[in-house]
Chains A and B, each alone.
Chain A
Amino acid sequence: MTAVNPGHLKVELALGGVAVDASVRTRPELLPALRDARHVLELLLPEDVVVDAPLANGRGVVSDSPAPHRLAYEGEQVFLQREPATRIEVRIIPPPQFYRANTPHGIPMRRIGSVFGSFIALNPLAPASDGPCTLCSGRPTEYDSAEPHPIVDVVDTVRTAFAEGAVEFVLFNASVTEAEDGGIAALEPYIRAVKRNFDTFVAVQMHPPRNNRWVDRTYAMGVDALTYSVEVHDADILARCYPGRVAIIGRERYYEALAHAASIFPSGTVWSDLTVGIEPAESTMRGIDALVQAGVLPVVSLAPPRHGVAPADAAAPRAEEVAPVLAHLFQATRQSKVNMGWVRELSFGITPLEARFFAGEEARLSVAQQFYRSRLGGMAARNLARLRRRLRVRTVSDSFDSSRL
């Protein structure tokens, strides 16, 4: 066994992909993971770092790495092997069993929730087609004809996922919409249902609403973490790659909404993705600085954009190009004192906490961070979050004295 930097390894795997050795393909218990429709393997690396590693012989490869890591199976253990003498013990995270189950209405649970790290990502409303959405291309979105999923189906999917132990948190994706609220109003019934039925944190990923009162309502309805993904900091590149965003929402609105959200959500629970490789590294670093100054946690996304970005702007970065950005990510976040402990275990991105591996920091967590990862710590964190919301959220009717005679 060789000591390895899991942060570096995550970047290499995400960008370079992984090849699967014949020894792995002969293991029946590993075959379901290899059949993932995304052509991605979810791997658990040392230090509990999670990564989505594209399969080298699938469509997921985004980097032309001359010698990708190979996944091998030997002696009841799975190893990553880059050179004959370098073997890193990892674990393939199999697709959760609930993917094969159906909801009370007969909908495959796989269609309702997907697992990413410790999150189950839910898109309960009518999902958009695989084509580009309005906010990316500026052209009208083509929606599938599917109806929103019944609340009971969403709740049942979450319950099944939790019972299996596949996830710890819930992440809602709002459908792309041009409505003022950014789609949060439609998600509210689902969020409340999950909060009523489970003792869990709920995160929402969406585009920012047009005004901040919907950000307030997002917090009030029970959302614990929130992301409005900027993706590209450079204004010109953003306008070229995502004309719809610029035209309909506006680049500045993302930052305004994030800053407002950071002022009402707990520190470190409002984050925004910056996708590495679309713009120069220096621009991404400036984006990181802008976010931390607003109290927002930056997350560097390694996943390639699905659509909306021209090939010339989506050249896959090399690991050595990403490393300085990630080092800056950790240092800037630490200096800003934004809490790095809440957003973690994102298989598709590098969080500031994981970026510590690029900043020369010792690979260990603080006592507080370790505590909040424990069962007791998780319970304490959730109760503190509830108390905080109870204290902070007021309704206008509270201001009137209703007992006057």
Chain B
Amino acid sequence: MAADTEVVIDTRRLWVILLSRGRKTYLLAAGALLYWALAAMPQPSGLSREGQKAIAAFGLCVFYWIFNVLPLMITSLLAIILLPLTGVMRSGQAYALFGNEAVFFILGAFILAACFMKSGLSTRIALTILHRFGSTPRTLLLTVYLLNSIMAFFMSEHAVAAMNFPIVAEMVAVLGLQRLRSNYARALFLAMAWGTSIGGIATLLGGARAPLALGILREATGQSYGFLEWTLLALPLVVVLMVAGYWIILWFFPIEIDSIEGVEQLLNERWLKLGRATFEERAIGTVMVLTLIGWVVGGEEFGLANIALAAVVSLFMLGVVTWRDIEHHVNWGVILMYGGAIALGAAINSSGAAAWLSKVTISHWASSGVTVVLLLSLISLLLTEAMSHSAVVALLMPVSIGVAKEFGIDPRLMAPVVALPAGLAFTLPIGTPANAIAFSSGYLRMRDMLLPGAVLELCAWVAFNLFAYWYWPLLGVHIP
């Protein structure tokens, strides 16, 4: 136990503690029971035996993902071993999916983001923008909001929120805003969280969910999206949600202060301390820009993953980073998560289970392509409040591809229908790391997130479906 570790003694009755601490055991057993029930029930009509086993494995993993019984990546490992052991898929095929292109794309993106942060370039950009534009309470709020959003275009949401939270917290402290009483403090932290979440859906770089959705789509259909293509699909929605979110924040939390004089001084001091940009910062910035250009211009020809990894290699060739600098900043669990989720999705599709699942789920309630999109986006939006974004995608993508085939919808449509709403969690601290970080400030009560967040979610769902129906056809993505 580290000397500075805070210790909490749980003084509840031991049997109460045992029950609460036994949660994992109970859930593990419940998941196993669910697997057994699904695998042992009489074979449904229209479903192959392999499909039934695939559904059992799918149900077990989804149960563990939903309740976070095991770390998400460990559940994915469970998926990998279940499929060969139950005869659904050959071992070689299951393990080969760890080499899926999407896995290496997001790995490359994570390494680039780690370099970006390690060099201090991200902090420099943040402070420069805040110092330049945040001169009044309203403009500071707007700057925090936009800064988090735009940074989330290029970095994972978690990284953006974690990086900017100390800056926002320090500004709030300098202003002397009262905990749980200051509207402006609430507005700032909520702007940080929402800006990050909304911006995170704009490109393939904002979170792991979009590349995962594309990985499952490619594995099932051979289709995918280019970097620019995805951005064009999402960006108008981002703009609308940013506007809506800003007005919702101001509506619920009117600004009560007139000056941010202390913050101006703080930002000025921090900005001056940065000094001149180093060679490492310039090199990493240049590589990042070139990489973005490469993704836009040559993503379809050369592959997103190849470009990402080429950028990573070039940074090491330039000597601006070392392996030790970044290895702790990369979420290595993503590789495991992706491999398992993609394998599970492939098994569901190849065994015919996806089609069967679609018939007994979405197809019961949907009557057309429009209603399919409405339902799937709503389900994705609701689930993401309580689950990891990637888990939502892993859960819904296999089923949605089956639904697409059932309704004669282009399967490509399902990736943004599932992945974009899966990134929009606004109401609960557990919905997304950005929300949790903002809530941990202690300036937000639960209801400060629930009600405004619910309003924004409703706006998001409506806006998403309007764009999907009216705007996406302009890009060649049609809802029949």
Q: With a CB–CB cut-off of 8 A, which chain A residues contact B415?
A: none
Task: Find residues 1-32 in chain B having any chain A CB closer than 8 Å to their own CB.
Answer: 1, 3, 5-11, 14, 17-18, 21
Contact between chains at B430 and A391 (CB < 8 Å): no
Contact between chains at B14 and A403 (CB < 8 Å): no
Q: With a CB–CB cut-off of 8 A, which chain A residues contact B337?
A: 405
Task: Find residues 368-405 in chain A having any chain B CB closer than 8 Å to their own CB.
Answer: 388, 391-397, 400-405
Task: Find residues 88-127 in chain A having any chain B CB closer than 8 Å to their own CB.
Answer: none
B331 within 8 Å of A by Cβ? yes
- Which listed residue, B7, B14, B208, B390, touches A395 by the CB 8 Å rule? B7
Q: How far is the CB of A185 from the nearest CB of chain B, in Å?
A: 7
A213 within 8 Å of B by Cβ? yes
Which of B6, B18, B436 has the largest count of A CB atoms less than 10 A from its CB?
Answer: B6
Which of A70-78, A169-177, A216-224 interfaces with chain B? A216-224
Contact between chains at A391 and B10 (CB < 8 Å): yes
Residue of B nearest to A220 (CB): B7
Contact between chains at B17 and A392 (CB < 8 Å): yes
Which of A220, A392, A403 has the largest count of B CB atoms less than 10 A from its CB?
Answer: A403
Q: With a CB–CB cut-off of 8 A, which chain B residues contact A263?
A: 11
CA distance A219 to B3 in the complex (A): 14
Q: How far is the CB of B4 from the nearest CB of chain A, in Å?
A: 10
Q: With a CB–CB cut-off of 8 A, which chain A residues contact B331?
A: 405
B385-404 interface bits toward A, Cβ cutoff 8 Å, 1 = contact, 0 = none: 00011110000000000000
Give the interface size class of chain A.
20 to 34
Q: How far is the CB of B11 from the nearest CB of chain A, in Å?
A: 6
Which of A213, A391, A404, A405 has the largest count of B CB atoms less than 10 A from its CB?
Answer: A405
CA distance A217 to B9 in the complex (A): 9
Which of B65-73, B279-287, B290-298 interfaces with chain A? B65-73
Contact between chains at A392 and B68 (CB < 8 Å): no
CA distance A264 to B71 in the complex (A): 31
CB contact under 8 A between A216 and B8, given known A391-B21, A395-B1: yes
CA distance A405 to B206 in the complex (A): 12
- Which listed residue, A394, A396, A397, A402, touches B10 by the CB 8 Å rule? A394
Contact between chains at A220 and B1 (CB < 8 Å): yes
CA distance A402 to B432 in the complex (A): 12
Q: With a CB–CB cut-off of 8 A, which chain A residues contact B436?
A: 400-401, 404
B345 within 8 Å of A by Cβ? no
B423 within 8 Å of A by Cβ? no
Q: Is the interface of A mostly helix, strand, loop or mixed?
A: helix
Contact between chains at B333 and A220 (CB < 8 Å): no
Residue of B nearest to A405 (CB): B390
Contact between chains at A221 and B1 (CB < 8 Å): yes
Residue of A nearest to B5 (CB): A395
Residue of A nearest to B158 (CB): A404
CB contact under 8 A between A405 and B208, given known A221-B1, A395-B1, A396-B5: yes
CA distance A70 to B121 in the complex (A): 86
CA distance A115 to B8 in the complex (A): 34
Residue of B nearest to A388 (CB): B14
Contact between chains at B430 and A396 (CB < 8 Å): no
Q: How far is the CB of A383 from the nearest CB of chain B, in Å?
A: 14
Which of A185, A221, A402, A404 has the largest count of B CB atoms less than 10 A from its CB?
Answer: A404
Contact between chains at B18 and A391 (CB < 8 Å): yes
CA distance A217 to B8 in the complex (A): 8
Which of A388, A396, A401 has the largest count of B CB atoms less than 10 A from its CB?
Answer: A401
Q: With a CB–CB cut-off of 8 A, which chain A residues contact B5?
A: 395-397
Contact between chains at B9 and A404 (CB < 8 Å): no
CB contact under 8 A between A405 and B388, given known A220-B1, A391-B21: yes
Residue of B nearest to A396 (CB): B6
B339 within 8 Å of A by Cβ? no
Q: With a CB–CB cut-off of 8 A, which chain A residues contact B21?
A: 391
Q: With a CB–CB cut-off of 8 A, which chain B residues contact A397?
A: 5
Q: How far is the CB of B356 from the nearest CB of chain A, in Å?
A: 28
Q: How far is the CB of B257 from the nearest CB of chain A, in Å?
A: 31
CA distance A404 to B5 in the complex (A): 22
Contact between chains at B9 and A219 (CB < 8 Å): yes
Contact between chains at A405 and B389 (CB < 8 Å): yes
Which of B71, B73, B158 has the largest count of A CB atoms less than 10 A from its CB?
Answer: B71
Contact between chains at B72 and A395 (CB < 8 Å): no
Q: How far is the CB of A2 from the nearest CB of chain B, in Å?
A: 46
Q: With a CB–CB cut-off of 8 A, which chain B residues contact A221?
A: 1
Contact between chains at B17 and A391 (CB < 8 Å): yes
- Which listed residue, A185, A217, A402, touches B7 by the CB 8 Å rule? A217
Which of A388, A392, A397 has the largest count of B CB atoms less than 10 A from its CB?
Answer: A392
CB contact under 8 A between A216 and B9, given known A404-B388, A404-B433: yes
Residue of A nearest to B73 (CB): A403
Contact between chains at A403 and B71 (CB < 8 Å): yes
B347 within 8 Å of A by Cβ? no
Q: With a CB–CB cut-off of 8 A, which chain B residues contact A396?
A: 5-6, 8
The 9 closest A-B pairs by CB, nearest first: A403-B71, A396-B6, A264-B9, A220-B7, A405-B390, A391-B17, A216-B7, A394-B8, A216-B9
6 residue pairs bridging A and B, Cβ less than 8 Å apart: A388-B14, A392-B9, A396-B6, A402-B71, A403-B71, A403-B333
Q: In the complex, given contacts A395-B7, A403-B71, what are 20 additional A-B residue pairs having Cβ atoms less than 8 angstroms apart?
A: A185-B3, A213-B6, A213-B7, A219-B9, A264-B11, A391-B18, A391-B21, A393-B8, A393-B10, A394-B9, A401-B436, A403-B72, A403-B73, A403-B333, A404-B432, A405-B73, A405-B208, A405-B337, A405-B389, A405-B391
List residues of chain B with CB under 8 Å of any chain A CB: 1, 3, 5-11, 14, 17-18, 21, 68, 71-73, 158, 208, 331, 333-334, 337, 388-391, 430, 432-433, 436
